[in-house]
Amino acid sequence: MKMISKPFIFAISILCSIPSLPAAELRDVSQAKAPVYHHSFETAPEALKWGYFYEPTQGLNGTGALVNRRTNPADYGVTTFALPALNAEKTYTATVWVKDHNLTAEGNQKDIGGICLEFIKDGKYFSGVYPTNPPGKDGEWRQLSVKFSPKPGADKGSVSLYLRKGYTGELYFDDLNVSEDGDLSLAIVPVRPAMMTFFGRTGVLEYTVSPGKVAGAELRLQLRQNGLSRELTAPLTGKTVSFELNDLAVGEMEVTAQLVNVQRSEIFYMETFCYQVKDARAEIAGAVTLDRRGRALIDGKPFMPVGLFAASLDRNDIQKIRAGNFNTVLPYSSMGLNIAQKEGKLGQKLRDSLDILAANDLKIIFSLKDQYPGKNYAVSRLGNAETPLAVAEIAVNDLKDHPALLAWYVSDEDTRGEVPMIVKLRQMINRADPYHPTYTLTFRNSDFPYYSISGDITGVDNYPVETARSNSLQSLAEAMTAAKSGNVPVWAVPQAMHWGVYKAKTAEEFDRYVFPSEAQLRSMVILPAVMGAKGFIFYAYQDIGKADKFAPGSSEIEWPKLCRTAAMLRELEPYLMSAQPQTEPKILAAKQTRIAAFTADSGKTAILICGLGPGAGHAKFEVPAGKAWRSKFGLTKSLGNQLYEFNCNDIDSDILFEE
């Protein structure tokens, strides 16, 4: 490594308060984040064993799942997945999510099994690990976990999913993982500059850092550009670390970020990021920037996406969505979009489709989520491009100047093990189009903050309204807390669908689930707004029509409810997207509630209150003197003397507008 002894590329405004260790004296004990094996059941396993079936919508979040279905307690079968070579001197953890459905035990059987490890030597059974797992609560997902070390001398290993003999019913499996033991909370998340691009010769390099249980750690950066390199170091005194850089050189810059245990002289975590430096920002119509408050600015003006996931779109859909108070669409079939229904080359079909969106004042979050190896719906060839990533680059270069473009969608509930590939897609997009952010999505809270390295904007989807007994938004609050831990902007994905669309095969099964009430719909956006979300992409447009199969005419009721919720968000946009900081009124009492105040640039304030449930929600708070207030949904009453009181039962919410 060529080091420079004087400021040549970089000058930094932060000086280290602790001595930095020379790189040569540090031992690298950083651990890989990717599991040694994972199966998300996004697709069916090869060669399903007898008694095992693939269910494409019965997984953790309406995703795919494997199920062992049994009617005879004497039947028995195992589905096995081969593992790569493992180190006998290391410890591993295997996990899988399971859900019981109508499991009935014969005799005194109280162990479902669920997961086990086996090892082979010289073609014969050598050793195994068989944890005991009791049945769980019917219909609820839970995670099974087993720690193990391979027996020294084993040639091969495998992980198996199964239901022990003596049971009838169904056992579902999702998200199988085998990982080398390590601290999964470790993360270094790039925060600034947005889109990994410096415009101009100065800027701030900022990271969110999660050092796990290591006290007294420091962040060490190795910056390389134009054949020159430099090291920067700062102690971890909070969740974020920032460096002011000066005299940047135009071109690409690679940064290796390391977490260092100073006391043990060890590098215990590492990431590498690619940035680019440009002389200045180009004048591109519809260019998007992300500010420090997480707001999207289009041509310098705040824009709050109120959108819909969709499968495919035609002209009728576009008109319906526009009339429904939405301003954004995220079609899964973006790479095959042909709204104009014209013949011709793919690139022209896409531009024509975006022209129609622009004419209807709609923005698009263009989906490239399948454009990397292993995805079933990847477009693998286009022109001279022969890989999904190369095809994605062609699409980005063709569309990056279109005014309808808002962002690029790069992942859809992918597993932790797929993040490195998503990062490659993100880096390609940031390099080719630094004027539109990437948007990434997961529902797995435990993958944060690490998952946030895969996009400029984080999405989180939690769909808490399932049956008539669903009476709490606590899981949504937890999901938002996890998503915010990376300190990057968050666009929430509120539930608009009926779970029966994914889980029911008959009308009787469909009736076990419910449509979200209007109070629940608005609460599922008010809560994320209170917690800092600056965009809302509802899931999903097509599901509203699909529900008509089992509930004829339901779409005529549910669509207007959703449109009214979107209209409420548009009414809140001047408050949520103002330049004024979010605040909190003086709270005198609170139970099962979240509250925040937002002041529009006009000076008017809106106070958002959400009751999370379960049970009674209550809040008493004080408002500024000399102002009149109006409750939008009637749940907040004046007590006089500047005091207001909110009351609700289970999931509900209100907005107090300053008149």
Buried b (16+ CB within 10 A) or exposed e, 149-182: ebeeebebbbbbbbbbebbbbbbbbbbbbbbbeb
**For 376-391, how does the pLDDT look when each residue is reduced to its tens digit (9 = 90+)?**
788 988 888 889 999 9
| CATH number, domain 37-180 | 2.60.120.260
Which residue has tokens 């459905």?
A: 101
**Residue 538 banded pLDDT, cuts 50, 70, 90:** very high
| CATH homologous superfamily, domain 23-31+184-278 | Immunoglobulins (2.60.40.10)
Q: Residue range 465-494: average pLDDT?
A: 98
CATH of domain 288-576: 3.20.20.80
Confidence of residue 89 (pLDDT cuts 50, 70, 90): confident
- Whole-structure pTM value: 0.87
Longest dimension (CA), the chain: 84
Which of 129-146 are b and which e, b meaning 16 or more Cβ less than 10 Å from the residue's Cβ? bbbebebbeeeebeebeb
pLDDT score of 258 more than 80: yes
Q: Give the whole-number percent of the chain exceeding pLDDT 70.
A: 96
Instruction: Give me the residues paired with residue 366 across strands.
Output: 408
Helix, strand, coil percentages for the chain (3-state, nearest 5): 20, 35, 45
Q: Quick one: average pLDDT of 54-72? A: 94
**Higher pLDDT pick, 11 / 512:** 512
Mean pLDDT is lowest, of 17-21, 208-212, 217-221, 646-650, for: 17-21
Reply yes or no on whether the pLDDT at 227 is more than 90.
Answer: no
For strand 616-622 and strand 586-591, is the pairing parallel, antiparallel, or unpaired? Answer: antiparallel
The answer, yes or no, to whether residue 485 has pLDDT greater than 80, is yes
CB atoms within 10 A of CB 489: 28
What confidence score (pLDDT) does residue 16 get?
33
Q: Where are the beta strands (DSSP E) in 413-483?
A: 438-442, 457-461
Q: Tell me the pLDDT tens digit for each residue of 440-461.
A: 999 999 899 999 999 999 999 9
Give yes or no for residue 162 having a pLDDT over 50.
yes
Distance CA 53, CA 522 (A): 37
What is the residue-averaged pLDDT of the chain? 92
Q: In this structure, how many other beta carbons lie within 10 angstroms of the beta carbon of residue 25?
A: 7
What is the band of 21 on the pLDDT scale with cuts at 50, 70, 90? very low
Is 50 exceeded by the pLDDT of residue 13?
no
Amino acid at 186: L
